[in-house]
Amino acid sequence: MRIVINDANILMDLADLDMLDLLSSLEYEYHTTDFVIAEVDDDRQRIKIDDFINNAKMIVKTFNDTELSKIIALSGEFSSLSITDCSVLHHSKETHGILMTGDGKLRKIAQNADLEVRGILFVFDQLVEKNVIKEETAYNKLKELYTFNSRLPADEIRVRLEKWEKT
- Co-location of 51 and 63 in the same domain: yes
- The CATH number assigned to the domain holding 47 equals 3.40.50.1010
* Single-letter amino acid code for the residue at 99: L
Same domain, 151 and 86: no
SS3 annotation, 6-65: ECHHHHHHHHHCCCHHHHHHCCEEEEEEHHHHHHCCCHHHHHHHHHHHHCCCEEEECCCH
Considering its fold, how many domains does the chain have in total? Answer: 2
Confidence label for 167 from pLDDT (cuts 50, 70 and 90): low
The answer to whether residues 62 and 9 belong to one domain is yes
- Specify the pLDDT at position 72: 96
Say if residue 166's pLDDT is above 80.
Answer: no
On whether both 139 and 99 belong to a single domain, the answer is no
Determine the longest span between alpha carbons in the chain, in angstroms.
53
CA distance 157 to 163: 10
Q: Are residues 83 and 159 in the same domain?
A: no
pTM of the shown model: 0.93
Degrees to nearest 5, angle at CA 45 with 148 and 80? 65
Cβ burial, residue 166 (10 Å; 0-12/13-18/19+): exposed
**Co-location of 103 and 134 in the same domain:** no
Asked if 114 and 127 sit in the same domain, the reply is: no
Residues 96-118: tens digit of each pLDDT? 999 999 999 999 999 999 999 99
Judgement on whether residues 17 and 92 belong to the same structural domain of the protein: yes
Shared domain check, 138 and 67: no
Write the pLDDT tens digit of every residue in 62-92.
999 999 999 999 999 999 999 999 999 999 9
Residue 111's domain comprises: 2-119
pLDDT at residue 150 tops 90: no
